[in-house]
Amino acid sequence: MKKNCLVSAPATPSSFWRIVAVVSLVFNAGLAFWLWHGATTPAAPLATVSSLPVSVARPRELTPYAALGSFMAENNGVSSLGWSEAQFTAFQDGFRASFEGKGIPLDDEARRLRDEISRRVQGMMTGERPDPVEDYFRTLREKENVQRTASGLHYRITEEGSGPVPKAADTVVISFTARLPGGEALPPLSRVRSRAAVKDLLPGLAESVQLLRVGGKALVYLPPALAFTDANWPPQLPKGTPILFFVELHEIVGM
C-alpha cells in the first residue's frame, strides 16, 4: 500500500484548529485599531482634558468603563511602549478629541508612530499566540496517559499483543480507523484487515505498528509531520491537523 493511495479527501473536515488563532487575531486587531485610532504626535493638552488618577473614587456605574480601558491598554501592551507622561497625556488628548467629534488628522509623523506601534504589538501577539496543536498534545500527555516518542508520535497501547513485533521491512495485516481531534470520522483514511508493507504506511503509522505485538491494539496520534507532506496532503483535510488512528495488528505476513 503506497502513501499516496492510502487516503482520498475526507468528506466534511473540521476547521477546529483554525478557530482559536482566527478569533484571537480578529479580537486583538479590533482592540488595537481602536487603541491606535486616536494616536498622534505629542501636542498641548486640550483645555477640556483633565486626568483622573486611578486613586480618585468614581461612581460604581463607571467602574466597568475604567476596567475596559485598563483591559485595552494591557491587551495591547501600552505599558511596554516606553512613553513619557507627556506622550501618554497627548495620546489621551487624541481620545478625548475623537470622543468630542474633533478628531485630529494623522500626519506623516503620526502615521510612522502608528505603524511602529502596530509592528511592535503584532510581534508581541505573534510571540504569545498559543500553538493549538502543541496544546492538544500536551493535554493528551497530561490527562490521557499518552506516551511520546522521539519523533513526536503520541500513542497509548490499549491491548497488549502476544506475538512478535514487526520490523520496517515486514509486510503486515492491520486494521485502522481515523478521526480528527474533535471526533469526526475519516472513512477514506480507514482500512479493515489491510495488507501493507510497513515502509509504505504513513510515517506515524509505520512507527506505531512497530510498537505493537501481533494481536495488539493502540490509539495513535499523528502530528502533521508524521502524516502527509504538503504535496500529498488531502485537499479537504485542514493542513496542520493532527490525526487520531485506532490501530490493530493482526499478523505479520510469512510468520
Give dist(CA 116, CA 120) in Å, integer. 6
The whole-model pTM stands at 0.52
Angstrom CA distances, 178 to 10, 61, 182, 191, 222, stand at 10, 53, 12, 9, 10
Residue 18's closest CA among 110, 122, 131? Answer: 131
| Buried b or exposed e, range 186-219, using 16+ CB within 10 angstroms | bebbbbeeeebebeebbbbbbbbbebbbbebbbb
d(C-alpha 69, C-alpha 140), whole Å: 38
pLDDT higher than 60, residue 66: yes
Q: Which of 74, 114, 107 is nearest to 91 (CA)?
A: 114
pLDDT of 215 above 90: yes
Rg, the chain, Cα only: 28
Taking residues 171-184, report their average pLDDT: 94
Q: How confident is the model at residue 106 (pLDDT cuts 50, 70, 90)?
A: confident
Domains of the chain, by residue range, sit at 18-128, 132-252
Question: Looking at the predicted structure, is the pLDDT value of residue 147 above 90?
Answer: yes
Q: Which uninterrupted H or E stretch holds 64?
A: helix 63-75
Terminal CA-CA length for the chain: 19
- Percentage of residues in the chain with pLDDT exceeding 70? 72
Q: Which residue has the higher pLDDT, 39 or 156?
A: 156
Among the four given CATH numbers 3.10.50.40, 1.20.58.1880, 3.40.710.10, 3.30.2080.10, the one describing domain 132-252? 3.10.50.40
> Could you tell me the pLDDT band of residue 112, with boundaries at 50, 70 and 90?
confident
Average pLDDT estimate for 33-59 = 46
